[in-house]
Amino acid sequence: MRERTRAARTIAGLALGAMLAAGAALAQTDEGATAPAAAAPAAADAAKTKMKAPRKAKAKPKMASVAVVVSNRRAVALVELQAAEAGGGETTKIAGPIAPGKKATAHVKHGKSCVFDLRGLYDDGSQTDVPGVDLCADKTINLVE
């Protein structure tokens, strides 16, 4: 009976070993088969991500700027110097206040045209209007009496 038990155990051991070997082989085959399959979706996701990347917004065109020296040669202080594109448009403050006898530099942004209508407002309530000044050609504004 001992031999029978020993033979049964040997057969059971061989069967168990065969099952373990077959299971290991299947596990290796399944891992090998699933790894590339898992890698393929990852590569597809990466390709989709590249395709979905946001487009760069177009840069707004930079406006050119001209530096203009404003000299107040009047006896009264300049409160504000305004400029508007020639022929109309919105006025913007480009300089001021400037004390009598002093200078200041104004940086004026412009588009294609560099011709402006200027308006000077003074401390005594007076104002000066000068239309059609090309600030790119003449970079000095002399405010006189």
Report pTM.
0.56
How many residues are there in the chain? Answer: 145
| The total number of structural domains that make up the chain | 2
- Assess whether 30 and 80 both reside in one domain: no
- Assess whether 85 and 123 both reside in one domain: yes
Strand-by-strand arrangement of the 127-134 sheet: 92-95, 78-85, 115-122, 127-134
Q: For residue 21, what are the domain limits?
A: 1-55
- List the structure tokens of 62: 């930079």
Task: Yes or no: say if 142 and 73 are a contact pair by the CB < 8 Å rule.
Answer: yes
- List the structure tokens of 112: 């294609």
- Assess whether 97 and 134 both reside in one domain: yes
Q: Would you say residue 32 has pLDDT above 50?
A: no
- Assess whether 71 and 128 both reside in one domain: yes
- Assess whether 45 and 78 both reside in one domain: no
Q: Distance between CA 1 and CA 73 in Å, rounded?
A: 130
Residue 60's identity, in one-letter code, is K
More confidently predicted of 19 and 79: 79
- Assess whether 51 and 68 both reside in one domain: no
- Assess whether 130 and 68 both reside in one domain: yes
Mean pLDDT of the chain: 77
Q: Which domain CATH number covers 103?
A: 2.60.40.2890
